[in-house]
Amino acid sequence: MGDHCRRLETIMVQGCREREDTTGAISTPIYQSATFRHRGLNKSTGYDYSRSENPTREELEKTIAKLEGGKSGYAFSTGMAAIDAVARLFSPKDHIIVSEDLYGGTYRLFEQVYKKYGVETTYVDTTDIEKVEAVLRKNTKAIFIETPSNPMMRITDIEKITSIARPLEILTIVDNTFLSPYFQRPLLLGADIVIHSGTKFLGGHNDTLSGIIVANKFIEELRFTQVSTGAVLSPFDSWLILRGIKTLSIRVEKQQENAIKISNWLNECKAVKEVFYPGLKNHKGYDISIKQATGFGSMISFNVNEKESIERVLEKLEVIYFAESLGGVESLITYPYTQTHAAIPEDIRNRIGIKDTLLRLSVGIENVEDLIEDLDRALNY
């Protein structure tokens, strides 16, 4: 099929579908097979063993690569498995600059796993280009950023980072989980590798785990790691992520619509001290968001006035679920201080703003008035 009329929404719905299918199936078949029969000696169908290649996973990988505008896609069992595969590109004494405000699991991986293998990391506010330049070393091999960041919603200028990195042959790696390729395409802004927790917006229904990499560099190295370590996404879960991607555009548009209304409401709520949402015009990264993304997403963080109110708020919410994760159709609220970011030392959490009064809200597709009424009951007792 030609690409002459295939815009993002069309690719999301129809997928890549480069593999010939004689059945006419509209939904990509689930090839729930561990192994594949050979037609004879040295006569492979192109599929030998599902750890190496599987037609359902291949369809997902080619679809997400096309959506991100990258050369090759890789589907893993979890988002952390995807980040681990990227981390394996580095050797002892290699140095990586990392956004200081990032998911606690990523921090844990670098600090408690790869530090033992000699990989060096420096955490810095990547929204400040001068701070990034100040920590560059001769052995710096990559700059790893989240934008928007988790949970403080900091916005890093991707093009500025790549303008620093590229002349020095430093990789730019972007975790694009919060915006998805529908709202932001880092590879088209000069990044080399994009990572997603596919569990979140790509899947969109809080029903499966997955991790995604799309790369323009280290194509063979990443494929070798995927096959060798074996943390591949199963055929059924690949199909679930493909099914989720079909509705990605309409889901994230509705989630964003709700998030804008909720962030404005929270801004006026007397029980709330501060709201962090890139779609608010007073957000520090608003102008950069307008420049490099087509949307603001649906993740909101906010500080309540008193720590003592956290427990009450979480217990009184009825429509919004108190649960970890994000990006699904159901609205979820999380307490980063003791949940998603507990692995980060307290002094660092406090310095970057992950205080004991901070809540993170993943806005779903429910009726926005129900969500606001739920927040009102919990916050304004």
Q: What pairing do the DSSP bridges indicate for beta strands 140-146 and 120-124?
A: unpaired
Q: Is 290 exposed, middle or buried (0-12, 13-18, 19+ CB in 10 A)?
A: middle
84 catalytic, yes or no? no
Q: Which of 103, 123, 182, 335 is catalytic?
A: 103
Q: Which residue has the tokens 């589907």?
A: 75
- For residues 235 and 8, is the Cβ–Cβ distance under 8 A? no
223 catalytic, yes or no? no
SS3 294: coil
SS (H, E, C) 41-87: CCECCCCCECCCCCHHHHHHHHHHHHHHCCCEEEEECCHHHHHHHHH
Q: Which of 175, 192, 237, 374 is catalytic?
A: 175
- Longest CA–CA span in the chain (Å) reads 73
Q: Which residue type, as a one-letter code, is found at position 236?
A: F
Q: Which of 57, 154, 200, 251 is catalytic?
A: 200
In order of 179, 184, 251, 284, 296, the CA distances from 290 in angstroms are 13, 10, 20, 12, 8
Q: Which has the closest alpha carbon to 321: 313, 332, 311, 305?
A: 332
51 catalytic, yes or no? yes
Q: How far apart are CA 102 and CA 280, in angstroms?
A: 21
SS3 275: strand
Q: Which of 6, 19, 51, 217 is catalytic?
A: 51
**Opening angle at CA 129, ends 125 and 131, nearest 5:** 55
217 catalytic, yes or no? no
Active-site residues: which are they?
A: 51, 103, 175, 200
